C-alpha cells in the first residue's frame, strides 16, 4: 500500500473539459500548498511542465476495464495504451504550458482535468528526443 | 490520503543504475501482476511507453528538500524542476522502449530504476509536439 497526499489543486472555471491535454486550450491555475511552494522557484513562464494528478472522481477499476473504448475513436484498447481516467491506479499525466508564476499559484494553459483535481507532482518536461543530446553531453562511462 | 498499489515490478540485473532514462541503455523486464496483464494487449515491440513508479527507497521528504543539488551539474534547483527521487510524493516517470512483450512480462530498454521498484502505471508516450497534429484531426468544437 502506497500513500500519497495532494501537493495542491487544479482550479479553473471551464464547464467543458477536453478529453486530453493535446487538444486543450483551457487556462487555469495550479494552486500549490504553502509547504511546497518553495519547490516552484525555478519554474517560469513559457516552460512546459508535467503535472501528475489524481483522477479522484473515477469509478473503481474492475476487471472489465482492462480493455476500454477510446472516447474519440471507439477503438477498444488495453488500458495501458490509452489515457482513460479509469485505471488500476488512477493517476493522470498532462503536459501544460506555464503562463505565469505568482507565489504558489501557477497560471497554465492546456488543462484537461476537472476543477478541484488533486495534484500529486510536478516535473520538468523532457522530450524523449532529448535522449541523444543528453547522451552526448553526459555520457555514461 | 490517496492509496495506490503496485501493478507490477521492475526487474533487471544491473548494479549501476544511471541517473536518468535519457542516459540509460539498461535492459530489463516490467513484470505485471496477473490481474492486470490483460491491459497490455495493445503494447508491442518498438513502442515507447511511459512508466510511472514508486521511489520506494527514497528518504522522507523534508522542508530542506524543496531545493536540491542536481546530481550531474551541482546546480541547486527547486524540486519541481528536477527529477530527484526525493519528492513530496515519490513518483518517478521514465520513458522506455519496448523490446518484446510475452504474457505479463515486457522486455524494455532505458531503465533508470532499481531492481524491484514497484510500478504504478503504464501509459502511451505522447510527444508534446503531437499537440498540433491532434488538434487538426480532432478539433475542440
Pairwise CA distance, residues B52 & B110, whole Å: 14
Pairwise CA distance, residues B85 & B65, whole Å: 10
Q: Residue range A112-140: average pLDDT?
A: 74
Q: How far is B74 from chain A (nearest CA, A)?
A: 13
CB-based contact B38 A78, cutoff 8 Å: yes
Burial A65-80 (b: 16+ CB within 10 A, else e): bbbbeeeeeeeebbbb
Model confidence, pTM:
0.90
User: Are the C-beta atoms of B11 and B116 separated by less than 8 Å?
Assistant: yes
Indicate the length of chain A as a whole number. Answer: 141
Beta strand A105-109 with A27-32 is antiparallel
Selecting from B35, B41, B52 the residue whose C-beta is nearest the C-beta of A78 gives B41
Which pLDDT score is estimated for A131? 56
Selecting from B41, B89, B135 the residue whose C-beta is nearest the C-beta of A120 gives B89
Q: Residue range B44-71: average pLDDT?
A: 95
CB-based contact A93 B123, cutoff 8 Å: yes
CB-based contact A23 B135, cutoff 8 Å: yes
CB-based contact B134 A78, cutoff 8 Å: no
Which pLDDT score is estimated for B33? 98
Mean pLDDT of chain B: 90
- Which residues of chain A are within 8 Å of residue B38 when distances are taken between CB atoms? 63, 66-67, 78
Q: pLDDT band for A130, please (50, 70, 90 cuts).
A: low
Q: pLDDT band for B129, please (50, 70, 90 cuts).
A: low
As beta bridge partners, residue B95 has: B50
Pairwise CA distance, residues A48 & A93, whole Å: 13
Q: What ipTM was estimated for this complex?
A: 0.90
Which pLDDT score is estimated for A115? 96
As beta bridge partners, residue A109 has: A27, A97
Pairwise CA distance, residues A79 & A65, whole Å: 7
Residue of B nearest to A36 (CA): B66
Q: Which three cell numbers stand for residue A103?
A: 507565489
Which pLDDT score is estimated for A111? 94
Q: How far is B136 from chain A (nearest CA, A)?
A: 9
User: Are the C-beta atoms of A7 and A33 separated by less than 8 Å?
Assistant: yes
Which pLDDT score is estimated for A64? 97
Burial label for B38, CB within 10 Å (0-12, 13-18, 19+), is middle
CB-based contact B89 A4, cutoff 8 Å: yes
- Which residues of chain A are within 8 Å of residue B31 when distances are taken between CB atoms? none
On the question of pLDDT at A83 being above 50, the answer is yes
**What SS3 state is found at B10?**
strand
No. of helices (H) and no. of strands (E), chain A: 1, 9
- Which residues of chain A are within 8 Å of residue B2 when distances are taken between CB atoms? 3-6, 54, 56, 118, 120
Which pLDDT score is estimated for A103? 93
On the question of pLDDT at A71 being above 80, the answer is no
Burial B2-33 (b: 16+ CB within 10 A, else e): bebebbbbbebeeeebbbbbbbbebbbbbbbe
As beta bridge partners, residue B91 has: B54
DSSP letter for each residue of A39-93: GGTT--TT-EEEEEEE-TTPPPP-GGGGEEE-TTT--EEEGGGS--S--SS-EEE
CB-based contact B125 A128, cutoff 8 Å: yes
On the question of pLDDT at A97 being above 80, the answer is yes
**What SS3 state is found at B2?**
strand
- Which residues of chain A are within 8 Å of residue B134 when distances are taken between CB atoms? 20, 22-23
Pairwise CA distance, residues B99 & B109, whole Å: 7
Q: Which domains does chain B have, with CATH numbers?
A: 1-50+94-108 (2.40.30.70), 56-89 (no CATH)
Which pLDDT score is estimated for B140? 37
Q: pLDDT band for A70, please (50, 70, 90 cuts).
A: confident
Residue of B nearest to A127 (CA): B127
Amino acid at each position: 500500500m502506497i500513500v500519497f497526499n495532494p501537493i495542491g489543486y487544479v482550479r479553473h472555471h471551464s464547464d467543458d473539459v477536453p478529453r486530453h491535454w493535446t487538444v486543450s486550450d483551457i487556462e487555469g491555475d495550479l494552486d500549490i500548498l504553502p509547504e511546497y511552494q518553495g519547490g516552484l522557484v525555478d519554474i517560469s513562464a513559457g516552460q512546459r511542465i508535467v503535472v501528475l494528478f489524481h483522477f479522484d472522481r473515477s469509478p473503481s477499476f474492475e476487471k472489465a476495464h482492462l480493455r476500454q473504448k477510446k472516447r474519440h475513436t471507439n477503438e477498444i484498447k488495453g488500458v495501458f495504451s490509452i489515457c482513460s481516467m479509469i485505471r488500476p491506479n488512477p493517476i493522470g499525466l498532462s503536459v501544460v504550458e506555464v503562463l505565469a508564476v505568482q507565489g504558489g499559484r501557477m497560471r497554465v494553459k492546456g488543462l484537461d482535468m476537472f476543477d478541484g483535481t488533486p495534484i500529486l507532482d510536478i516535473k520538468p518536461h523532457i522530450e524523449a528526443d532529448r535522449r541523444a543530446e543528453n547522451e552526448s553531453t553526459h555520457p555514461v562511462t
